[in-house]
Structure 1
Amino acid sequence: MLAEARRRAARLGRAVELVEGDAERLPFPDASFDTAVCALGLCSIPRPEAAIAEMHRVLAPGGTLLLLDHVASTAWPLRAAQRLVEQLTIRVAGEHFTRRQRPLVEAAGFAVVEAERRKAGTIERIAALKR
């Protein structure tokens, strides 16, 4: 993915710094970013609470956290199907479909300012501020 990102940046004439790291131990100083974005990543991170805590750490006070991820559906038949499929996806790819990120975001000290669920409640988008 980093190689593809480098190719795209070069094709667009953009100077970017790409850093490989561990979401549970980000290689950046405290309060070094205004915004942290994680799209469809927390569903495959072993300890999402650690990753969210790291995002909180690297955000400056008042910084914005933007998340988009798979979550347990609001419709019970679909939620049951997600749990069934998850029995395989967790073992094969570490992919979770029924986690809920919002309680973890709030527990980490963020103030949720916007939250929206789509696709029968299986996708959740959260915007939150570091207090």
Structure 2
Amino acid sequence: MTRDAETPTARQQRVWDRNAPGYDKQIGFFERVWFTGGREWLGGRAHGRVLEVAVGTGRSLPHYRPGVVLTGIELSPAMLAIAQRRAADLGRPADLRQGDAERLPFADGTFDTVVCALSLCTIPHPAAAIAEMHRVLVPGGTLLLLDHIGSSWPPVRAAQWLLEQLTGRAAGEYFTRRQLPLVRAAGFDVEEAERHKAGTIERVHARKPAA
């Protein structure tokens, strides 16, 4: 398949396979200065049978509490291999497998918590991914999201828009998306929604209504 003919999902797999070796070094800086405390926030709220969508290189693994039963899905085999090594090094039992966030390979109502960190900005169809997260949660289950979003400050949002004219075409990464409306549209009840860093970072804690 030529690059012109590849699907958005295939492009994302290629991009993240290429970026996997340097990802931890690159994202580590941003997590210290921009996403500060975000993965700890996710891990402290996750419970029960947990699915992390787009687990990446497994950077959230150290922050889950003891006792959770962890499953992770990742599109990129190269990113997934790093996550599997990280889980082994941590002694963290986890079922980490390749898969597409927009077509989760799990039955309805499989998980108590679904987590997605810094990934809905690159998933080609975020509404489809959030709908899948809703499907695989039990009634009353918890959704936890962390991502960069369009700023609440217009000058910053304008700069984000300009930046994503490059990153959208090159790597399928977007800086002006807002996930909260998609969460509500998928049928979740939002319990917490926090914005940080001039409104460019959002943390969302939502719940699938009980049956």
Are residue 89 (structure 1) and residue 167 (structure 2) matched? yes
Q: What amino acid sits opposite 1:71 in the alignment? A: I
Aligned length: 131
Where do residues 57-96 of structure 1 align in structure 2 (5 Å cutoff)? 57-96=135-174
The residue aligned with 2:184 is 106
Q: What amino acid sits opposite 1:73 in the alignment? A: S
- SS of equivalent to 2:195: strand
The residue aligned with 1:27 is 105
The residue aligned with 1:126 is 204
- Unmatched tracts of structure 2, length 5 or more: 1-78
RCO higher in 1 or 2 (8 Å CA, sep ≥ 6)?
1
Where do residues 3-14 of structure 1 align in structure 2 (5 Å cutoff)? 3-14=81-92
- Unmatched tracts of structure 1, length 5 or more: none
Q: What amino acid sits opposite 1:57 in the alignment? A: R
- SS of equivalent to 2:147: strand
The residue aligned with 2:65 is none
Work out the CA distance in 2 between the residues paired with 1:14 and 1:40.
21
- SS of equivalent to 1:30: coil
Shift of 1:70: 1.2
Shift of 1:14: 2.9
Work out the CA distance in 1 between the residues paired with 2:181 and 2:87.
35
Q: TM-score, normalised by structure 1?
A: 0.97
Shift of 1:15: 2.7
Work out the CA distance in 2 between the residues paired with 1:46 and 1:6.
24
Shift of 1:118: 0.4
Work out the CA distance in 1 between the residues paired with 2:151 and 2:109.
34
Are residue 44 (structure 1) and residue 122 (structure 2) matched? yes
Q: What amino acid sits opposite 2:149 in the alignment? A: V
Name whichever of 18-27 and 3-12 sits farther off.
3-12
**Aligned-residue identity in percent:** 72
Q: What amino acid sits opposite 1:89 in the alignment? A: T
